[in-house]
A and B are shown apart, each in its own frame.
Chain A
């Protein structure tokens, strides 16, 4: 069976130990996680875990069916590429001085990134985008000396009005200012 990359959304109770329940299940079933992000949702009782994973259809089916058995899991589904948007954040520190700074800046601008810190010998670039875009940028800056970097891993959401049931009206929806 062919391997492919999938992104899965898992809605879980917002409680202590929930992340380790999910992650330990992946570990003991032998599923390798490419990346994992966790955040609160508009429902304070529910957290959202986004897992990117590479595997075949059988493994994907097992991941979903084994994970949905956990008592803390409220909903789980794959975020299909066609009807979802994925984003990832990159922070990267590159050695850069007067002689190559302009060229580097051009590359950052083309990829619509931002230089958020500058020193005589380095720049820190912030970039968000689909994982492929981040990969493309990484490829372009591979000729520079990368001092350090971090990527958040994929987070994603479905396009349109599709809403996870556990975050729909009727469930306790967070009504505070989301931009605090």
Chain B
């Protein structure tokens, strides 16, 4: 059947079982939007207020559902506005397909109105990108984009299509989605060696990251830890992979990780690193990280082996496959002495210090958790509130914590919350933000209103740019350069202006009451929580430090 380029885009999206796209229209992508008008019964388009947030929404959708997020943007500024969103997805290995349109082929390279070389710009932040200026290449480029996004270590792919291609006509034939490149499998001989190492170890620990979530290996991980009587610690990308109340769960590792996690890794004689990359927020001092341990790394991406930390043994493999092979070979060894030590360390926390205000971050996070069910999805922006959420949330499920880990994108949260809520309409989405981060993206309230999304936004409002303020307090002699903006924003009035509901809370009681009201609403609610600017994210290990440099209180 003969179709236009725009119709081919829509048909290939349907081949890929895409039913939702996020985006913003513009001149060069008009043909595609005109086509979407005719496909609106099969492809839902969510209009955001800004392309950056459309990309974050596609990202949040992908993180919460495991599917590939899709985002549309027009040429020039539309495409460049996607860049932060694509880079965020790239750094956290999130499958995304970004479709942009460009000026007609006859104008390419002439600095035409709203022309930009978006393939050149996004080359370092995509797994691959395509520039399509022949309709014959269009369908395969999009099909390949989906294959690449989901293959191996997942990530974003961009397809840039010239406007004339979207109008051109050619014969189109429906095809099955391309097979995702098979995951590398673990070599059994290597697995045997690892099993032997675990069996011999006296103080083993598993350190795991987003790769465990990406390969849906949380059950296998819990089984391994149970069988080997081995504790586990995780990066932010793996929050929720292991249930909060699992005795083996030591909590977050790294710069703002728990005392127990950091001490355990320091004292361990064996570290099993799973789907994680020893980032500088975890191995703050590379030469002293797990200095007493034999380190084994299992990761799907060969380039992650020995990239940051030199390991003793490595397997390039899907984590789930490796764990399935490993579990039967691991002996049930009683390591209660080691585990009991952890429970002792777990008691040392940095959250007990009183701030000036009566409402403490720990109270807010804990209450939000206690008042919602275990299926809740928590989304964050970036800053102190993100760390408090990562530390105190009682995660139970994989894909329940949506946060920007690698790029640390302030302004990620609301767009991502919109995407998560669209992707999981049956679940409750709670969005934690700070007043700094929220000023970057609060305009997405209009998207939440238009789509009647019951996202509850909790603003940890300390009237400063909290995380930087904390660093200035500790490391810069309290010289608060540009972190006390003195903004007069009334968040309650702002959300009311957008058409939603707002509450302010200054005590735990007020927060509890506001939160209960928010749970009853069927549209977006903001709760402006007044907290002290002296609240700290603790524990903290300074850059380049070790567990011995940990600031606890």
Contact = CB atoms under 8 A, between A and B. Distances in A.
Contacts of B81: none
Contacts of B124: 24-25, 28
B128 A20 contact: no
Contacts of A28: 124
A68 B131 CA distance: 21
Interface in B290-319: 301-303, 305-307, 310
A70 to B, nearest CB: 7
A20 B123 contact: yes
Contacts of B306: 58, 61
Given A17-B119, A20-B120, A71 B128 contact: yes
Contact of A66 (B123, B148, B303): B303
Interface residues of A, number: 17
Contacts of B310: 58
B302 A24 contact: no
Nearest to A61: B306
A71 B148 contact: yes
Contacts of B305: 65
A98 interface: no
Interface string B104-137: 0000000000000001100110011001000000
Interface residues of B, number: 15
Nearest to A69: B303
Interface in B258-306: 301-303, 305-306
A72 B128 CA distance: 9
A156 B302 CA distance: 26
A70 B128 contact: yes
Contacts of A70: 128
Contact of B123 (A24, A58, A61): A24
B126 to A, nearest CB: 10
Contacts of A72: 128
Most chain A C-beta atoms within 10 Å of own C-beta, residue among B128, B301, B303? B303
Given A62-B307, A65-B302, A71 B127 contact: yes
Contacts of A69: 127, 301, 303
Interface string A64-82: 0110111110000000000
B189 to A, nearest CB: 22
Contacts of B303: 62, 65-66, 69
Contacts of B119: 17
Contacts of A66: 303
B301 A21 contact: no
A17 B130 CA distance: 10
Nearest to A25: B124
A62 B304 CA distance: 8
Nearest to A16: B131
A24 B310 CA distance: 26
Contacts of A24: 123-124
A57 to B, nearest CB: 9
A21 B302 contact: no
B241 to A, nearest CB: 25
A14 to B, nearest CB: 15
Interface in A36-89: 58, 61-62, 65-66, 68-72
Nearest to A24: B123
Interface string A112-156: 000000000000000000000000000000000000000000000
A62 B123 CA distance: 18
Nearest to B155: A69
A21 B148 contact: no
Given A69-B301, A71-B148, A21 B307 contact: no
Given A24-B123, A65-B302, A66-B303, 14 more contacts: A17-B119, A17-B123, A20-B120, A24-B124, A25-B124, A28-B124, A58-B310, A61-B306, A62-B303, A62-B307, A65-B303, A69-B301, A71-B128, A71-B148
6 contacts: A17-B120, A58-B306, A69-B301, A69-B303, A71-B148, A72-B128
